[in-house]
Amino acid sequence: MSPSAVYQEIVSGPATFQMGVPSSDSFPAALFGRIGAHAARTQARAPVVYPDPRGELELRRRIAGHLAVARGIQCDAASIFVTAGFSGALGLTLSMLRATGAGAWMEDPGFFLTRNALNLARFQIAPIPVDADGLDVDVGIARASDAVLALVTPGQQAPTGATLSLERRMQLLDWARRAGSWIVEDDYLGELQLQKRAAPALASLDTNGRVIHIGSFSKTISPALRLGFIVAPDRLIDQFNETVMSLAPAPAPAVQLTLAEFIREGHYMRHLRRMKRLYAARGKALQDALASRGYPSQIGGLAVLLPLPDSIDDEALVREARAQGLAPGALSSWFSGREARQRGLLLGVATAPEQDIPDACDRLDRLIRRHRDRTGQRPIVH
C-alpha cells in the first residue's frame, strides 16, 4: 500500500476495526474541553512571546512524573521534548542524528510509515525478523552489526503484540553500547497492555545512554491533539536542543497546558484504566465472535490479528471491506519484502463497540468466504 493510500485511509474517518485511533465514545470530552477552555483563556492573557520550542515546562514536568510511575523511566523536564505526535518525534530524531546513508535495523513486520520515514531520511534499512520474544537481535547483528540505529517497539511489537524478552533487551542494549549505536524505542501504547501487566520501558534499563524513547498521546487520548514526546539520553540533550530550535517547534501551548492539567488532576491515569478494561472486553468479544465463525486469532497491541492463506490478497479484501463500512488493516503491508510477506487482517478493537461486533464479523466472514471461493482455498492458515 502506497503512503498516499495509507494517508487517505487515516483521514477518511473512523470506522469499525480501524487501527491507530482510540475509542471516540469513551473519552471525557466535556471535561477535557473545560480544561482546554481555561488553558486557552490563560494563554490569551499571557505576555506575547515565542513559546519554548522544547515544549511547555509544565507539560514536560508532568510527562516526566508520569513516566517514572508508569514506565519506570527516571528523567527530568530537561530531557523531554514535546513534538507533533510520533511522526514529529521520529522526524526530529532522524534530523538530529544526521546519519544519511547509515544502516538502520527495522522490525519485519513493522510499521510501514516508520519504514517510509527511514527511507526518506536515506537510511539503509536492514529488515530484522520478530518472533514470540520480539526482535531477533542475533539476526540483526549478523546482518548489520555496524548499523547506527535500531528502531524497535519493545513493549508491544507492532503488529504482532510480542513483548521483547528481558534477554533480548539486554542483548540489544549491549550491542548498542559496543557499536556506539542508538536505539529508538517507539513506545506507541505505553502502559496500555490488554493481556498482562505492561513491561517497563526499554529506556528504564539503559545505563549507557543509548536509548531515545518516543511516546505519544495519539492512541491513548486522540491523534487530533498531535502531541508526542522524546526522552533524550543526557549525552544527546544539547544536540536535540540545537535541532529543535531551528527545525521542530512544539505544538500550540494551549493544547500542551490542557494536557498538563489533565495529567496533574489524575484524569489521565483514570482514563487509561477505563480504556484498558474497555479494550480488553472488546478484544475478547471480537476473538470470541471470530472463533464462533471458525477463525482463530490473536491479540496484538490494540488489534486482533486474523491470519489468512497466502492465496488471498488481503489488500484487495481491505479495499472491499472499506466499501462496507469496515476498516481492517492488511497484515502484508507491514512486511518489507514479498518473499517473507504473510497475509492477514488487523482488526482494531478500540473502534469496535461490542454491540457492533457480531454484525461486523458476519460481513467480514462473507468477504473472506468470497475471496476464498475465488481461490478454492480454506480461509485460515493454521
User: Looking at the structure, do residues 65 and 164 belong to the same domain, yes or no?
Assistant: yes
User: Looking at the structure, do residues 223 and 346 belong to the same domain, yes or no?
Assistant: no
Q: How far apart are CA 101 and CA 144, in angstroms?
A: 13
Amino acid present at 234: D
Pairing between β-strand 303-307 and β-strand 298-300 as defined by DSSP bridges? antiparallel
- Residue 19 belongs to what H/E stretch? none
Dihedrals φ, ψ of 77, to 5°?
-60, -30
Q: What is the pLDDT of residue 49?
A: 79
User: Looking at the structure, do residues 242 and 298 belong to the same domain, yes or no?
Assistant: no
CA atoms within 13 A on the CB side of 5: 11
User: Looking at the structure, do residues 88 and 221 belong to the same domain, yes or no?
Assistant: yes
User: Looking at the structure, do residues 311 and 244 belong to the same domain, yes or no?
Assistant: no
Residue 381, in any domain of the structure? no
Which cell numbers hold the place of 309? Answer: 492463506
The residue range of the domain holding 248 is 29-265
Which cell numbers hold the place of 302? Answer: 490494540
Exposed / middle / buried, residue 74 (Cβ in 10 Å: 0-12, 13-18, 19+): exposed
Domain end marker among 245, 265, 285: 265
User: Looking at the structure, do residues 37 and 16 belong to the same domain, yes or no?
Assistant: no
The strand order across the sheet containing 103-108 reads 80-83, 228-231, 211-216, 182-186, 149-152, 103-108, 124-131, 134-135
- Using alpha carbons only, give the angle 130, 136, 140 rounded to the nearest 5 degrees: 120
Q: The domain that contains 114 carries what CATH number?
A: 3.40.640.10
Domain end marker among 265, 299, 315: 265
Residue 140, in any domain of the structure? yes
Which cell numbers hold the place of 160? Answer: 504482532
Amino acid present at 353: P
User: Looking at the structure, do residues 122 and 230 belong to the same domain, yes or no?
Assistant: yes
Q: What is the pLDDT of residue 281?
A: 95
Q: How far apart are CA 352 and CA 19, in angstroms?
A: 10
User: Looking at the structure, do residues 84 and 217 belong to the same domain, yes or no?
Assistant: yes
Which cell numbers hold the place of 96? Answer: 538530529
Closest Cα to residue 133, out of 164, 167, 166, 108? 164
Judge contact between 261 and 346, C-beta under 8 A: no
Domain end marker among 265, 283, 298: 265
Closest Cα to residue 156, out of 233, 87, 71? 71
Residue 232, in any domain of the structure? yes
SS3 content of the chain, % helix, strand, coil (to 5): 50, 15, 40
CA 165 to chain CA mean position, Å: 19
Q: What is the pLDDT of residue 381?
A: 43
User: Looking at the structure, do residues 14 and 153 belong to the same domain, yes or no?
Assistant: no
User: Looking at the structure, do residues 295 and 357 belong to the same domain, yes or no?
Assistant: yes
User: Looking at the structure, do residues 206 and 139 belong to the same domain, yes or no?
Assistant: yes
Q: How far apart are CA 343 and CA 356, in angstroms?
A: 25
User: Looking at the structure, do residues 84 and 199 belong to the same domain, yes or no?
Assistant: yes
Judge contact between 26 and 274, C-beta under 8 A: yes
First to last CA, the chain: 26
Residue 299, in any domain of the structure? yes
Stretches in the chain below the pLDDT threshold 70: 1-14, 338-340, 375-382
Residue 93, in any domain of the structure? yes
Query: pLDDT tens across 147-170, in order?
Result: 999 999 999 999 999 999 999 999
Q: The domain that contains 345 carries what CATH number?
A: 3.90.1150.10
Q: Among the residues of 145-219, which ranges form H helices? A: 166-179
Q: What total number of domains does the chain contain? A: 2
